[in-house]
Amino acid sequence: MARAQLDTLDYKILQMLSVNGRKPFLEIARECNVSGAAIHQRIQKLMSMGVLKGSECLIDPASVGYETCAYMGFFLKDPSRFDEVVEKLKAIPEVVEIHFTTGQYDMFIKLYAHNNDHLLHIIHEQLQGLGLARTESLISFKEVLKRQIPVSEPGD
């Protein structure tokens, strides 16, 4: 995707939303010294350009029973079947991220399980039939930082 053509107001809006995605449009408008309608139009433009990908409520996985976070690197038997494997992974609700990567793995995923037994069940019952040559797993004990990328105008 080519870099979007953004101006100073766009960057200011993005900076505010990256800190608080629920910040009211009128509050953003006041801080930017423009009308609420102008902010609404700018945010719609940023969404239509694909710069803003929507908004979401983040659920703490542990609070709803998902105590185990795992990252898995996959070595595919046949890397040309990447798209087929991706479609099968999308059908597993516990898989929350899928990445096509450089380096030693053909792909890398992130998933949540209720516990280690549940993770083992997912691996044996759902992942082994995907055409994997082998996998490597990492379990995260605790997420200590998660944040948005820094947003600043070019040259800042």
pLDDT on residue 8: 92
- Three-class DSSP category at 122: helix
Candidates 121, 129, 95, 127; CA nearest to 109 is 95
- Rounded to the nearest 5°, which phi and psi values hold at 93? -60, -30
Which residues are CB-contacts of 126 (< 8 A; sequence separation ≥ 6)?
92
pTM assigned to the model: 0.82
Angle at 126 (CA atoms; ends 122, 131), nearest 5 degrees: 130
Residue ranges of the domains in the chain? Answer: 8-49, 61-140
Whole-number pLDDT of residue 2:
54
Question: Tens-of-pLDDT digits for all 156 residues of the chain?
Answer: 456 689 999 999 999 998 888 899 999 999 999 999 999 999 999 999 999 988 778 889 999 999 999 999 999 999 889 999 999 999 999 999 999 989 999 999 999 999 999 999 999 999 988 989 999 999 999 999 988 888 887 776
Fold exhibited by the domain 61-140 = Alpha-Beta Plaits (3.30.70)
Fold of 8-49: Arc Repressor Mutant, subunit A (1.10.10)
